[in-house]
């Protein structure tokens, strides 16, 4: 069977290899053409465009998020415009329920079929043809694509004739995996802090009560601190949790644990782990417990180099431009994020507790004035510092810690800038 694959990241490339080994003819397309080289060496044909790939009649997309898929599918020269009548678009990506419904309707209007077939498994499982596939769509289209699904792994679930049902299953599964990561992270941090050997604990639990691959795989990664190279980066984990919350909200289903995990992923990204595996939240849990980091972000050094370049005095006319960029990008943006964060938290507190305290309301008004005035970073940070001292009782420990970090971020850079101006006035 001739099949096109659009999106050759870790998963797309591995799926392509599985299809080639099963004897299918694969046409590969990626926006970065160099990524198609690995499949080309295995026998795939490299397409020059999406339209060129769509001549196969069946197209698999494995793209990062809704925006990427929507762009590839609905562009003027995208899948919808290029796929022949009767063609099938199979989406193996983790996408929103809303986008799946939108693509279903769009393809149906032009005589094409849309099948959602998200997969469960990491890139190594995809390479070994051990993925679990969840498919949904018109019966004739799903039956036509069955040989492709069977080439990807031993487990196939056909959940219904509405494509978005498969996306609900995928989001539910990813949410459950994320809860496993969070529970493992907290449990291992608790064991380490209490002096219990985490390896012995994990071996006992995964051989008795929690004898499942997800606990063994991610438990092993957490114990080893092996968060890079990432099998599934934390930014994609955050994307999936947001999709879960969005879909659940549409059905009026509260998911309190999902909100906790979303914040954990945000913390990991904020600490520089955006290129790490999503199991890196175990390191965040350990750091929050006062335990030493086992695997600091590898790109911090590059940030330090960039900071040294930014704060090094420069001769001649380049220095005023440098200082202007320093002030605008580092100071004002930081102050804006501080004030935005505190402002939104205060509004939520007022709404939640239905309080109308004078100091709380005036605090929000003051922040609104700062937004409109576009005040300088130093005066903004000082105003926030004074305001925070008035409402400290209303702000949780995590919010206070964030405020202190950002305040330090602002004032350290102010001191460095002032020192540089004093020590090198001839350059500035």
pLDDT digits (tens, 9 = 90+) for 367-402: 555 544 554 444 455 455 544 554 444 444 445 555
For 132-168, give one letter per residue: b (16+ CB within 10 A) or e. bbbbbbbeebbebbeebbebbbeebebbbebbbbbbb
Q: Which residues are paired to 135 by β-bridges?
A: 158
pLDDT digits (tens, 9 = 90+) for 326-340: 344 444 444 555 555
Residue 377 placed within a domain: yes
pLDDT score for 419: 72
Closest CA to 420 of 264, 349, 328, 314: 314
170 is catalytic: yes
pLDDT score for 345: 56
Q: Both 155 and 177 in a single domain?
A: no
Closest CA to 249 of 144, 171, 343, 346: 171
> Looking at 142, 161, 180, which one is the last position of a domain?
161
Q: CATH number of the domain at 55, please.
A: 3.40.50.720
Residue 318 placed within a domain: yes
Taking the C-alpha atoms of residue 139 and residue 161, their distance in angstroms, rounded to an integer, is 6
Q: Both 311 and 401 in a single domain?
A: yes
Domain range for 229 is 169-288
Residue 99 placed within a domain: yes
Residue 282 placed within a domain: yes
Q: Both 118 and 100 in a single domain?
A: yes
Q: CATH number of the domain at 283, please.
A: 1.10.1040.10
pLDDT score for 376: 46
> Looking at 258, 288, 318, which one is the last position of a domain?
288
Q: Both 251 and 340 in a single domain?
A: no
What is the dihedral angle through the alpha carbons of 158, 161, 165, 167, rounded to the nearest 10 degrees?
70
pLDDT score for 218: 95
Q: Both 84 and 231 in a single domain?
A: no
Residue 294 placed within a domain: no
CA of 72: how far to CAs of 30, 279, 334, in Å?
A: 11, 30, 35
Helix (H) and strand (E) counts for the chain?
Answer: 20, 9
Q: Both 27 and 133 in a single domain?
A: yes
What mean pLDDT, rounded, does the chain reach? 80
The catalytic residue among 139, 170, 216, 305 is 170
Q: Are strands 132-136 and 119-120 parallel, antiparallel or unpaired?
A: antiparallel
Residue 228 placed within a domain: yes
Q: Both 137 and 279 in a single domain?
A: no
Taking the C-alpha atoms of residue 333 and residue 345, their distance in angstroms, rounded to an integer, is 18
Q: Both 7 and 113 in a single domain?
A: yes
Residue 428 placed within a domain: no
> Looking at 113, 137, 161, which one is the last position of a domain?
161
Q: Both 233 and 114 in a single domain?
A: no
pLDDT score for 359: 47
Quickly tell me which residue has 């870790």 as its tokens.
Answer: 10
Q: Both 109 and 192 in a single domain?
A: no
In the chain, which residues have pLDDT < 50?
A: 298-334, 352-359, 371-372, 375-379, 382, 386-387, 390-398
Taking the C-alpha atoms of residue 193 and residue 270, their distance in angstroms, rounded to an integer, is 24
pLDDT digits (tens, 9 = 90+) for 139-166: 999 999 999 999 999 999 999 999 999 9
H helix runs in 207-290, sequence order:
213-224, 234-250, 256-270, 281-288
Non-local (6+) Cβ contacts of 160 within 8 A are: 136, 166
Q: Both 132 and 173 in a single domain?
A: no
Q: Both 148 and 93 in a single domain?
A: yes
Residue 416 placed within a domain: yes
| Number of domains within the chain | 3
């Amino acid at each position: 069977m001739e099949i096109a694959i659009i999106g050759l990241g870790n998963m797309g490339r591995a799926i392509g290899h599985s299809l080639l080994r099963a004897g299918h003819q694969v046409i590969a397309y990626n926006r970065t053409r160099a990524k198609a080289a690995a499949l080309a060496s295995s026998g795939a044909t490299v397409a020059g465009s999406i339209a060129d790939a769509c001549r196969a009649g069946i197209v698999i997309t494995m793209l990062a998020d809704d925006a990427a898929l929507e762009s590839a599918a609905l562009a003027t020269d995208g899948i919808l415009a290029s796929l022949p009548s009767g063609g099938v678009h199979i989406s193996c990506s983790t996408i929103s329920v809303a986008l799946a419904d939108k693509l279903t309707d769009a393809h149906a209007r032009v005589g094409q079929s849309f099948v959602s077939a998200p997969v469960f498994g990491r890139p190594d499982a995809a390479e070994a043809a051990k993925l679990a596939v969840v498919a949904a769509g018109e019966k004739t289209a799903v039956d036509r694509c069955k040989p492709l699904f069977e080439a990807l792994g031993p487990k196939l679930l056909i959940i219904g004739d509405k494509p978005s049902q498969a996306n609900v299953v995928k989001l539910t599964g990813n949410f459950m995996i994320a809860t496993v990561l969070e529970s493992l992270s907290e449990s291992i941090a608790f064991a380490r802090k209490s002096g219990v050997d985490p390896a012995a604990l994990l071996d006992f639990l995964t051989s008795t009560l929690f004898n499942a691959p997800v606990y063994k795989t991610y438990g092993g990664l957490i114990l080893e601190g092996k968060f890079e190279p990432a099998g599934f980066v934390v930014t994609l984990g955050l994307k999936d949790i947001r999709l879960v919350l969005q879909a659940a909200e549409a059905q009026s289903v509260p998911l309190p644990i999902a909100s906790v995990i979303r914040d954990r992923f945000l913390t990991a990204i904020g600490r520089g782990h955006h290129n790490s595996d999503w199991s890196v939240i175990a390191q965040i849990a350990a750091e929050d417990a006062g335990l030493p980091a086992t695997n600091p972000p590898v790109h911090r050094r590059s940030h330090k180099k960039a900071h040294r370049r930014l704060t090094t005095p420069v001769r001649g006319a380049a220095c005023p431009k440098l200082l202007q960029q320093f002030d605008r990008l580092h100071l004002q943006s930081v102050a804006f994020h501080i004030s935005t964060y505190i402002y939104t938290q205060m509004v939520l507190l007022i709404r939640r507790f239905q309080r109308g305290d004078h100091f709380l309301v005036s605090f929000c008004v003051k922040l609104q004035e700062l937004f409109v005035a576009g005040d300088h970073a130093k005066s903004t940070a000082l105003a926030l510092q004074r305001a925070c001292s008035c409402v400290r009782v209303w702000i949780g420990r995590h919010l206070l810690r964030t405020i202190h970090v950002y305040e330090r971020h602002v004032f350290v850079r102010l001191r460095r800038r002032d020192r540089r101006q004093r020590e090198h006035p001839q350059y500035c």
